[in-house]
Amino acid sequence: MLLALILACASANSSATPPAPTPEPPPTPEVTTPAHEAQVTAVEYHFQDSSVPPPSHRSVTIRVSAESADYVVDSYGDVVAEAHAPSDQATLDKAIAAYEAAGFKPTPASREPGCSGGTSRSVTVEQARLILFTGTLSRCGGSEKGLEGDMDGFAKAMKALAPMPEGLLPQATP
The pLDDT value given to residue 27: 39
Mean pLDDT, rounded, for 142-154:
89
Q: Is residue 40 pLDDT above 60, yes or no?
A: yes
The class (CATH top level) of 34-107+118-167 is alpha beta
Query: What does the alpha-carbon distance between residue 34 and residue 132 come to, in Å, rounded to a whole number?
Result: 10
Amino acid at 18: P
Q: What is the Cβ-side half-sphere exposure of residue 157, based on CA atoms within 13 angstroms? A: 21
Give me the residues paired with residue 29 across strands. Answer: none
Percent of the chain with pLDDT over 90: 41
Query: What does the alpha-carbon distance between residue 45 and residue 158 come to, in Å, rounded to a whole number?
Result: 7
Q: Is residue 9 pLDDT above 50, yes or no?
A: no
Beta strand ranges found along 49-159 (DSSP E):
59-65, 68-75, 78-86, 105-106, 119-127, 130-140, 143-145, 147-148
pTM of the model: 0.72
The pLDDT value given to residue 78: 84
DSSP 164: P
Going by C-beta distance under 8 Å and a sequence separation of 6 or more, which residues neighbour residue 153? Answer: 98, 101, 102
